């Protein structure tokens, strides 16, 4: 009976450790970022197929190569980001439990996992088009070198620089199907590029003291909330004309996207000058930005089906 109990206990311990390793891996690659970028990549693929008149199933191999390849490239970049930022991540509440901080994963192992994922990811991307592969490379260079290793710790404009890497997934998806990037593809890029500053600046407002402790010069840390809020509103207003360049998706989409933009602006105006509500304001703007992006990109696909 005891032998049975010991065997059961060992198996249970092994299962726990296996689960923990998987969770550590998902934390290392920032699976939330990987998943959210998969949505925008797929939208780029879908719209490229739609506007070029190509079939989804007849190009399923390219679709799979692109989705797998881009996800691995993003995961690898995030792993390297975790490796590099391990000296400051322990100072921030939202990053202190990353495996490179807690010691659950050897930093060197994390670096090599990142390099391995990037290598395999680029191998998949090379099975699509050279343009898509080069755009993927631009995303990696921007995120790893220009953002993580350079601007993040030096300049308040780090958010804008990092937005380039976050904006390339729909371009990657489009280029994998059609290397001749159309106006629609670049509009998708612009939507993603302009969406990111208000999203991350709202997050920075909520985490200002953490960024200050880590000595990261985010806009609210250096210039305060008033300027940050103004910047957020300016970026949101810049989104207003973009849906009209996607008129080929139908009037319904243009109306929906415009209402989403106006709704974001109205939410921003409400309590804009109320200094006692700044944290609540930032939280609402951050949550809205997440829902905004999901609804917008999913609707792009849906309006080509209905």
**What confidence tier does 233 reach under pLDDT thresholds 50, 70, 90?**
very high
User: Phi and psi (nearest 5°) for 193?
Assistant: -65, -45
Q: Tell me what percent of the residues of the chain surpass a pLDDT of 70.
A: 94
**Mean pLDDT estimate for the chain:** 92
User: Phi and psi (nearest 5°) for 168?
Assistant: -80, -20
Are the CB atoms for 265 and 292 separated by under 8 Å? no
pLDDT on residue 151: 97
Of 10-24, 84-98, 184-198, which gets the smallest average pLDDT?
A: 10-24
- Fold annotation for 20-305: Farnesyl Diphosphate Synthase (1.10.600)
pLDDT on residue 156: 95
Radius of gyration of the chain (CA): 21
Is 93 buried (19+), middle (13-18) or exposed (0-12) by CB count in 10 A? exposed
Taking alpha carbons only, the member of 40, 53, 51 closest to residue 249 is 51
User: What DSSP line would sit under 18-42, residue for residue?
Assistant: HHHHHHHHHHHTTHHHHHHHHHHHH
| Residue 212 CB partners (closer than 8 Å, separation 6+) | 221
Determine the average pLDDT of the residues in 195-218.
95
Q: Please say if the pLDDT value at position 15 is more than 50.
A: no
Q: What's the rounded Cα separation, in Å, for the pair 230 and 272?
A: 9
Q: What's the rounded Cα separation, in Å, for the pair 28 and 38?
A: 17
Token output for 190: 């612009």
User: Phi and psi (nearest 5°) for 292?
Assistant: -55, -50
Q: What is the largest CA-CA distance in the chain?
A: 72
**What confidence tier does 190 reach under pLDDT thresholds 50, 70, 90?**
very high
């Amino acid at each position: 009976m005891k032998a049975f109990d010991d065997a059961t206990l060992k198996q249970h311990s092994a299962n726990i450790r296996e689960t923990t390793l998987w969770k550590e891996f998902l934390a290392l690659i920032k699976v939330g970022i990987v998943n959210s970028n998969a949505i925008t990549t797929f939208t780029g693929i879908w719209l490229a197929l739609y506007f070029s008149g190509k079939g989804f199933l007849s190009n399923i191999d390219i679709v799979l190569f692109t989705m797998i390849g881009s996800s691995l490239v993003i995961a690898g970049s995030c792993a390297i980001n975790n490796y590099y930022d391990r000296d400051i991540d322990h100072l921030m509440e939202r990053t202190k439990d990353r495996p490179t901080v807690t010691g659950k994963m050897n930093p060197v192992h994390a670096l090599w996992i990142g390099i391995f994922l990037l290598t395999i990811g680029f191998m998949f991307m090379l099975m699509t088009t050279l343009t898509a592969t080069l755009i993927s490379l631009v995303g990696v260079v921007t995120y790893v070198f220009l953002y993580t290793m350079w601007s993040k710790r030096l300049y308040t404009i780090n958010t804008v620089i990092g937005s380039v890497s976050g904006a390339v997934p729909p371009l990657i998806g489009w280029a994998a199907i059609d290397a001749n990037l159309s106006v629609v593809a670049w509009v998708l890029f612009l939507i993603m590029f302009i969406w990111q500053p208000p999203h991350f600046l709202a997050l920075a407002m909520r985490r200002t003291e953490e960024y200050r402790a880590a000595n990261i010069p985010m806009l609210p840390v250096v210039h305060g909330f008033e300027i940050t809020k103004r910047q957020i509103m300016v970026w949101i207003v810049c989104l207003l004309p973009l849906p009209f360049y996607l008129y080929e998706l139908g009037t319904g989409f243009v109306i929906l996207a415009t209402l989403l933009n106006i709704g974001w602006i109205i939410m921003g105006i409400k309590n804009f000058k109320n200094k006692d509500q700044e944290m609540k304001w930032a939280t609402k703007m951050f949550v809205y930005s997440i829902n905004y992006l999901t609804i917008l990109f999913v609707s792009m696909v849906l309006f080509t089906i209905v």
